[in-house]
């Protein structure tokens, strides 16, 4: 018995490679963080919002929360052991959104234990 497997186009292969590449270097986790929106003039607006961080990499996070944002929205997110980090909303899906950091961070610092190695 032969099974016919459809050929994958070069474009489909490139898309799959990009997804695999994006997944490398990301850590799935569940942390809470504060987020504040920043208007185009750099002014903080709308107070602080509590969000869940679902995954983290040096270049950004996937956050989840009831915050009204759109692609390109400027913001700052407070990451434990690092502090406030500037970023921009890259994508939105339902109540989840991707944040691209303005500067890379060290994800290991965010995930470091508060127990001091105990």
Q: What is the pLDDT of residues 41-88, one digit of tens each?
A: 777 777 899 999 999 999 999 999 999 999 999 999 999 999 999 999
**What is the CATH T-level fold of the domain 27-111, as seen in this structure?**
Thrombin, subunit H (2.40.10)
- pLDDT confidence bin for 26, thresholds 50/70/90: low
Q: Model-level pTM?
A: 0.72
Choose between 5 and 89: higher pLDDT. Answer: 89
Share of the chain above pLDDT 70, in %: 72
User: CB neighbours of 78 closer than 8 A, spacing ≥ 6?
Assistant: 33, 34, 35, 84, 85
Q: How far is 101 from 84, CA to CA, in rounded Å?
A: 11
């Amino acid at each position: 018995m032969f099974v016919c497997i459809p050929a994958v186009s070069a474009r489909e292969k490139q898309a799959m490679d990009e997804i695999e590449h994006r997944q490398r270097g990301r850590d799935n986790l569940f942390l809470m963080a504060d987020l504040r929106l920043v208007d185009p003039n750099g002014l903080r607006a709308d107070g602080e919002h509590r969000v869940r961080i679902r995954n983290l990499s040096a270049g950004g996070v996937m956050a989840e929360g009831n915050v009204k944002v759109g692609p390109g929205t400027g913001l700052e997110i407070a990451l434990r052991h690092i502090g406030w980090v500037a970023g921009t909303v890259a994508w939105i899906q339902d109540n989840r959104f991707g944040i691209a950091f303005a500067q890379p961070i060290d994800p290991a610092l965010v995930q470091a234990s508060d127990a001091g190695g105990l």
